[in-house]
Chains A and B, each alone.
Chain A
Amino acid sequence: MASNNRVAAVGVGYSTTGRKTGLTSRQLAVQAATAAMRDAGMTPKDIDGATMLWAVAGDAPPGLDVVDSMDIAFMLGIGPLNFWNSGAGPAYIGPAVQAVSAIKSGLCHTVLSMRVIRQRLTGAEMLAKDTDTHRVYAEDDFQFVAPFGSISPLQAIASMPAQRHMDLYGTTEEHFGRHVVAQREWASHNPDAIFRTPLTLDDYFASRYISKPVRLLDCDYPVDSASAIIYTTEERARDFAKKPVFAESTAFSSVKYLTFENLDDIIENSPDHCARNLWARTDLKPKDVDCVQLYDGFTIIVFQWLEALGFCGRGEAGPFIAEGHTAMGGRLPLNTDGGACNVGRRHGANFCIESIRQLRGGESGVRQVPDAKVALWANAVGSFSGAMLMTAE
């Protein structure tokens, strides 16, 4: 096997995206997959692997149609498959890591990787219901958290880390607001964004609290959406329509059980572990990164990644953002598509696609980062996460 078996991303695509699209998981998947094949100038016969993740968390409630990677592949005329996976992993970074790993290993050469989100379950729906007594029960590890009212993932994933970040480092609610305002400015120039009206700090402070200090505007926007990215070998990449973008370094991390309350450190966790590996696998340094796309399921996650990746010191993300470095015109353009708060929850896939578009060049209008050669995207936080460094050359 060639020693320099680099993997390239050659096609990207989205489905119709919105609050209630009325589309089934299969329809969403077909839209995104065909868009990605069209983008790459590729046919189903060029593909021999499929990875995807469907649900957000917990079991699917009745009436929701689950799709898996075999289902998607065969309905699109892809196959036989040399690799497939529909399993676990934090959001889109899971299928992405599986795709890159499978190609690097030689098991397959070209993978359609997808994230399909049909609808999010609420915390209450995830708890088992006793129909006789109308009581709600929490099982497994959730029995140690839900009885105390830890029901929305937001409380443990975002609110408690954000409050602790404020108490340890002097981070302020204005710091969170500065990020939200800067990110919306990027979104205002993205025709694919759902929210495009610029925000002020006053707008941020007028946004209601969900669980302090997290406000509604700190939360990503749940939507139905499918996203697809096609990866292939460097050798094959040159045969397709678009300029290939390379996966320079990839890291995957799991540090503790999925109940975020139980993390050994509620601020420094899987992104820190992930970042160490990501940088150890490349000669590139944080200063080489032209734009960065950091998962913004909630604002504090962006802060955690900025610090974990070494773009600023521990506890310094707030002042770093307030100084304008991540905004349009700043030295570290961040979430240049507007982030999941504004383009909708595509669970990390939007950050991969935005990285690819920035590195291709010419696809992002005024959001284009001049001469972008290196992009970094990161997904998830806490118990599990992953990141990928991508290069144009």
Chain B
Amino acid sequence: MSAIYPPLPRPNPMTQFFWDGCKARKLQILRCQACGWFVHYPRPVCNKCLSTELAPQEVSGRASLYAYTLTMQAFHPYYVDKLPYTLAVVELEEQPGLRITTNIVDVAEADLKTGMPVRLAWREVAPDVVLPMFTKADA
């Protein structure tokens, strides 16, 4: 019987850089080369200046907790023995409103606070699939 994995990302030409970066434990976000604006999800155009010159740029991995939920029900077999888990959206320090979806790991429920500083915590969830998760950072 094969191992059970979470839903896995299926990269496309526009998103391959993101997952390749994760495999190398580098969090990269597409950035406009004309005006410096970060664009996530990956799109072929900058929604600020309409430049089509965008390139991946590594970000610091420092962020703040924007929103979260403790999920108590397994919507996929992978999570049956992992409940509860913390699904979250974090805001990267590089740009107001620049957010990615993630999991918060190794933080007790009572210690979760909207706005708290968090930092990257890489997790390999399947062979060659590394996800950018986050954990509590020192303020």
- Which A residues contact B (CB, under 8 angstroms)? 122-124, 127-128, 133-141, 143-152, 155-156, 159-164, 167-168, 208-214, 257, 259, 261-262, 264, 266
Contacts and interface: CB of A to CB of B under 8 A. Distances in A.
Contacts of A208: 72
Given A147-B6, A149-B87, A163-B68, A264 B97 contact: yes
Given A159-B69, A163-B114, A147 B9 contact: yes
Given A150-B101, A162-B69, 17 more contacts: A136-B8, A138-B10, A141-B41, A144-B40, A146-B9, A147-B6, A148-B131, A156-B101, A159-B69, A160-B88, A209-B70, A211-B69, A211-B71, A214-B69, A257-B41, A262-B40, A262-B101
Contacts of B102: 148
A257 B40 CA distance: 11
A161 B100 CA distance: 15
Nearest to A123: B75
B41 to A, nearest CB: 5
Among A133, A160, A214, A257, max chain B CB count under 10 A is at A160
Contact of A152 (B18, B41, B75, B113): B75
Identify whether the interface residues of A are mostly helix, strand, loop, or mixed.
mixed
B9 A137 contact: yes
Nearest to B126: A135
Given A150-B87, A266-B89, A163 B8 contact: no
24 contacts: A136-B5, A136-B7, A136-B76, A144-B18, A145-B101, A147-B129, A148-B101, A148-B103, A149-B6, A149-B78, A149-B79, A149-B85, A150-B87, A150-B101, A156-B101, A159-B69, A161-B67, A162-B69, A163-B67, A210-B73, A212-B72, A212-B84, A262-B101, A264-B97
A143 B69 contact: no
Contacts of B41: 141, 144, 257, 259, 262
B114 A144 contact: no
A265 to B, nearest CB: 9
A387 to B, nearest CB: 24
A298 to B, nearest CB: 12
